[in-house]
């Protein structure tokens, strides 16, 4: 922040990032099919083919999140000849999540820190039941929508970026 201050940029009075103003609920996809820990790994291929998410939430009988299984988890199990093993044997238990009302900035930080392609979205008001999935491309799409819908905010961000880097941003 000292470097920015030397350039005359007031970071303490700065407005929030556009992603700070967008809740996860506005960007997540509700088109997902959770799987059970008792489902066979061999059945995941069809689920992934029908779904547009890189990983699927694994839920118990109460629809509470118990893990997450990715395409690569499935592929590795199938390559090892474990097609008849259970999802619970290959899933990652206790995955990182995001909540409906959190900002996309927070969600993006979690995606980056854990280097995952998607996060299960939970609703704290419903005992943390899974209500959606948030992918990186969902965040990008929400950001682009917000820039179109709020041109005054986008213009301020562009002016700030130009003052810092000298580079102009052109939309296509």
Cα–Cα distances in Å, from 85 out to 74, 78, 130, 171? Answer: 10, 9, 24, 49
pLDDT score of 40 more than 50:
yes
- The predicted structure's pLDDT at residue 128: 78
- Strand pairing of 98-99 and 92-93? unpaired
- C-alpha 158/C-alpha 83 separation (Å) is 51
Write out pLDDT tens, residues 84-130: 899 999 999 999 999 999 999 999 999 999 889 899 999 988 887 99
- The predicted structure's pLDDT at residue 167: 66
Q: Taking each helix axis as running N to C, give the angle between helix 136-149 and helix 151-165, from 0 to 180 degrees, rounded to the nearest 10.
A: 110
Q: Are 99 and 58 in contact (CB under 8 A)?
A: no
Give the three-state DSSP class for 94. Answer: coil
| Residues whose CB falls within 8 Å of the CB of residue 133, separated by 6 or more in sequence, listed in order | 28, 29, 32, 53, 55, 57, 118, 119, 120, 121
- The predicted structure's pLDDT at residue 125: 86
Q: Are 5 and 81 in contact (CB under 8 A)?
A: no
The secondary structure element, H or E, covering residue 137 is helix 136-149
pTM (whole model) above 0.85: no
Write out pLDDT tens, residues 50-64: 877 889 999 998 888
Eight-state DSSP code of residue 9: -
Give the three-state DSSP class for 157. Answer: helix
Q: What percent of the chain has pLDDT over 70?
A: 83
């Amino acid at each position: 922040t000292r470097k920015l201050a030397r350039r005359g940029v007031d970071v303490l009075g700065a407005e929030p990032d556009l992603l700070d103003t967008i809740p996860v609920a506005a960007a997540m996809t509700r088109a997902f099919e959770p799987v059970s820990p008792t489902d066979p790994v061999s059945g995941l291929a069809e689920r992934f083919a029908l779904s547009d998410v890189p990983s699927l939430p694994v839920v118990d009988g109460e629809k509470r999140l118990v893990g997450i299984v990715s395409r690569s988890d499935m592929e590795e199990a199938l390559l090892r000849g474990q097609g008849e093993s259970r999802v619970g044997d290959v899933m990652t238990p206790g995955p990182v999540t995001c909540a409906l009302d959190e900002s996309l900035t927070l969600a993006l930080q979690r995606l980056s820190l854990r280097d995952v392609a998607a996060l299960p979205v939970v609703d704290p008001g419903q005992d943390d039941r899974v209500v959606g999935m948030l992918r990186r491309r969902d965040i990008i799409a929400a950001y682009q929508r917000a820039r179109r819908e709020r041109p005054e905010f986008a213009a301020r961000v562009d002016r700030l970026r130009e003052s810092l880097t000298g580079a102009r941003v052109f939309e296509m």
